[in-house]
Homo-oligomer: A and B are copies of this chain.
Amino acid sequence: MSNAADTNKASPTQPRKLSTVSSWDFETDIAIVGYGGAGACAALEASDADSDVIIFEVASEAGGSTKLSEAEIYMGGSGGTRVQKECGFNDETEDMVKYLMMAGGPQANEAKVRCYSENSVGHFNWLVDKGIPYKNSFHKERAIMCLTDDCLLYTGNEKAWPFVEQAKPCPRGHNIEAEGAAGGPFLMKVLTGHIDTRDNIDVKFETRVVALIADEDNEVHGIVIKMNMKEYTVKARKGVILCAGGFVMNDDMLQKYAPDLLKATEKIGNPGDMGTGILMGMGVGGSAINMHEGFVSLPFYPPADITKGILVNSQGQRFINEDCYHGRVGYHLLQQLGDRVYFILEASDDFEPPMFLCADYAGTGETLEELEAEIDVPAGMLKHTVDFYNEQAAKGQDPLFHKSAEYLQAIKPPYVALDCTPGRGAFFPYFTFGGLDTTINGEVLNVGGTAIRGLYAAGRTTCGLPRTGAGYSSGMSVGDATYFGRRAGVEVAKQAAR
C-alpha cells in the first residue's frame, strides 16, 4: 500500500495534492469514474484508440442510471437514421438543430446541439454496429416510453406548440428492439459484453473514488480510490474521465442548488447519483452550470386519450397545451400560483385512468357547477374554461395554447377531476440537469473558461444537451451520455502520456 493514507484531507471537493503522493498503486492511461452509459462508451472508444483504461464503479455491477432507464436514444438529422428513413421520415440536420435549440431554452449550448445533431446518425450506426437492434417500425401512439419492441416514436414536444411552429417535427426517439422496459439492461449488457472482451480495459467494482489527485496548477494526474476499506492511488497518464452521474440522490446539493425540484416527489436515478463527480470537478476549479434545472414530470399519458382532457390550476384556468411532453407539463405545473392542479376529463364508460399517474379522484360531477363546488374552484371559472374549450374544440382549434387538432374534442358530462397537485399522491418523478461545463470533447472547463488539464467528464456529471425541463425530450439523456461519453474517450486517448 502506498502513502495514500498519509493525509486524510482529501475528499471529493478537496483533491489530494500530487506532491504528497510518493508512489502509485495502479497506473493506467485513462481512469474512468463510473460505469454507466457514459463511462462504458468512453472506455470502448479509448480502448479502440489503444489506450489502457481502468473503470472504477462504486456499485457491484455496471449500469448506472442508463441501466435503470428505457435507454431510448434521441437521434436524427443528416436525412435520417436507417429507421427514420425506412419509416418514411426525412430528418434534416437543421430541423433537429432548431428543435434542440428551442428545447434548451435560453441556456441552450449551440456547440453541443450542433455537434450532436450532425453526428447522431453516425452514433446510431455505431450502436447498431456494436449489436444494438433497432426495428424499422414506427410507434404512432403517444407514449411515455415504448413498451413494444417498436423503435421510432415522438418523445418530446416536436409536434406541440410552440415548437411545431419553428422546427419541422420528426420522431427521433429510438427504442431498442426488446419487449417491455428492458432497453436499459439490454444496452448495458451489449456494451459491457464488448468491454469484457477488451484486454486493455480493466474494471474495478465496489470501488469508491475518494478524490482527484491534482498538482498546484489544478492539473489532474490521478485519483484516490478505496477498495476493501483501504485507500490506493491511481495514476492516469492521459487523464481522468468523470462519468459519475448527477446529484438527484444528494438532498444537501438539491437544497443548495435546485430547491425547486424538491417540490417533486420521486427521485429518478441510481443510488450513486450523489453529485460526487460534479463536486470533484468543482474541487479543482471546474465550473458547474445550470445547477438549478432538472426534469420534473407529470406522467399523465398513456393512454393517449387522456390528452383530450384539460389541466387547470386552482383558478380553474388552463395553463398549457396538454399535448406537450409530460416533462414540459410538469415544468409549467410547478410554476402555477395556488395550491392545486387538476386534470379534468370526461368520465365516459370506457374511461381508462392513466397508467403511471397515481392521481386521486378529487371530484366528479354531472355538471361543471357541481364539479367546481366539489374541487373548490371559484364558481364560474371552470365552467367558462370548459365551455370555451368545448366551443373552440368543436371548431377544431385551441386559440389559447394551440393543442393539436387530434386531441381536441368537447369534454362532456359526467366529469371527473384527478388531483395532480404536487405532494398529494400523483407521481412526480425528477432528476437533475446541472453539472460541469464541458467542451464537445468532454474537457472540463474552469470558471475562467479554460480546460483543466487531465480532467474530462461525460453524462449527467456534465451539463449536456438537456438544459431545461421546459424542453426536455426522452432520449436526450442516454443520447448525451453515450455520444459525448464516446467523444471524451476519443479525446483523452489522443493525449500524450504523462
Residues A13 and B448 in contact, CB atoms below 8 Å apart: yes
**Given A13-B447, A282-B285, A285-B285, 15 more contacts at CB 8 Å?**
A11-B448, A13-B448, A106-B255, A106-B262, A106-B263, A256-B437, A283-B285, A283-B447, A315-B317, A317-B317, A332-B337, A378-B400, A380-B391, A381-B388, A384-B388
Q: Closest CB of chain B to A380's CB: distance in Å? A: 6
Residues B259 and A106 in contact, CB atoms below 8 Å apart: yes
CB of A103 within 8 Å of the partner chain: no
Identify which of residues 275-302 in chain A touch chain B, using a CB-to-CB cut-off of 8 Å: 279, 282-283, 285, 287, 289-293
Q: Closest CB of chain B to A40's CB: distance in Å? A: 28
How far, in angstroms, from A446 to B388 measured CA to CA in the complex? Answer: 54
Residues B446 and A13 in contact, CB atoms below 8 Å apart: yes
Q: Closest CB of chain B to A374's CB: distance in Å? A: 16
How far, in angstroms, from A216 to B9 measured CA to CA in the complex? Answer: 14
| 12 chain-A/chain-B pairs, Cβ below 8 angstroms | A105-B259, A106-B259, A283-B447, A285-B285, A291-B292, A292-B292, A315-B317, A332-B335, A332-B337, A335-B335, A337-B401, A384-B388
Partner of A279, one of B107, B391, B447: B447
CB of A14 within 8 Å of the partner chain: yes
Identify which of residues 76-104 in chain A touch chain B, using a CB-to-CB cut-off of 8 Å: none
How far, in angstroms, from A263 to B380 measured CA to CA in the complex? Answer: 34
Identify which of residues 240-292 in chain A touch chain B, using a CB-to-CB cut-off of 8 Å: 255-257, 259-260, 262-263, 279, 282-283, 285, 287, 289-292
How far, in angstroms, from A188 to B307 measured CA to CA in the complex? Answer: 59
A317: chain B residues within 8 A (beta carbon): 315, 317
Q: Which residues of A contact B (CB under 8 A)?
A: 11-14, 17, 105-107, 216, 255-257, 259-260, 262-263, 279, 282-283, 285, 287, 289-293, 315, 317-320, 332, 335, 337, 378, 380-381, 384, 388, 391-392, 399-401, 437, 446-448
A14: chain B residues within 8 A (beta carbon): 448
Known: A315-B400, A337-B401. A282 touches B388 (CB 8 A): no
Residues A401 and B283 in contact, CB atoms below 8 Å apart: no
Residues B380 and A388 in contact, CB atoms below 8 Å apart: yes
A384: chain B residues within 8 A (beta carbon): 384, 388
How far, in angstroms, from A321 to B260 measured CA to CA in the complex? Answer: 22
A278 to chain B: closest residue by CB:
B447
How far, in angstroms, from A293 to B291 measured CA to CA in the complex? Answer: 12
A13: chain B residues within 8 A (beta carbon): 285, 446-448
Residues A282 and B378 in contact, CB atoms below 8 Å apart: no
A321 to chain B: closest residue by CB:
B337
Residues B289 and A257 in contact, CB atoms below 8 Å apart: yes
A467 to chain B: closest residue by CB:
B259
A259: chain B residues within 8 A (beta carbon): 105-107
How far, in angstroms, from A287 to B255 measured CA to CA in the complex? Answer: 14
A319: chain B residues within 8 A (beta carbon): 337
Q: Closest CB of chain B to A440's CB: distance in Å? A: 16
**Which 5 pairs from chain A and chain B are nearest by CB?**
A13-B448, A106-B259, A378-B399, A282-B447, A315-B400
Q: Closest CB of chain B to A73's CB: distance in Å? A: 27
A104 to chain B: closest residue by CB:
B259
Most chain-B Cβ atoms within 10 A of its Cβ — which of A263, A285, A337?
A337
How far, in angstroms, from A259 to B471 measured CA to CA in the complex? Answer: 15
A283: chain B residues within 8 A (beta carbon): 285, 447-448
A315: chain B residues within 8 A (beta carbon): 317-318, 400-401
Residues B256 and A289 in contact, CB atoms below 8 Å apart: yes
A320 to chain B: closest residue by CB:
B337
Q: Closest CB of chain B to A109's CB: distance in Å? A: 10
A287: chain B residues within 8 A (beta carbon): 256, 282
A315 to chain B: closest residue by CB:
B400
Most chain-B Cβ atoms within 10 A of its Cβ — which of A318, A399, A437?
A399
A446: chain B residues within 8 A (beta carbon): 13
Q: Closest CB of chain B to A163's CB: distance in Å? A: 12
A259 to chain B: closest residue by CB:
B106
Residues B216 and A17 in contact, CB atoms below 8 Å apart: yes
How far, in angstroms, from A292 to B283 measured CA to CA in the complex? Answer: 21
How far, in angstroms, from A319 to B317 measured CA to CA in the complex? Answer: 9
Q: Closest CB of chain B to A49's CB: distance in Å? A: 32
A448: chain B residues within 8 A (beta carbon): 11-14, 279, 283
How far, in angstroms, from A77 to B449 measured CA to CA in the complex? Answer: 44
A290: chain B residues within 8 A (beta carbon): 292
Q: Closest CB of chain B to A260's CB: distance in Å? A: 6
Q: Closest CB of chain B to A337's CB: distance in Å? A: 7
A318: chain B residues within 8 A (beta carbon): 315
Q: Closest CB of chain B to A401's CB: distance in Å? A: 7
A256: chain B residues within 8 A (beta carbon): 287, 289, 437
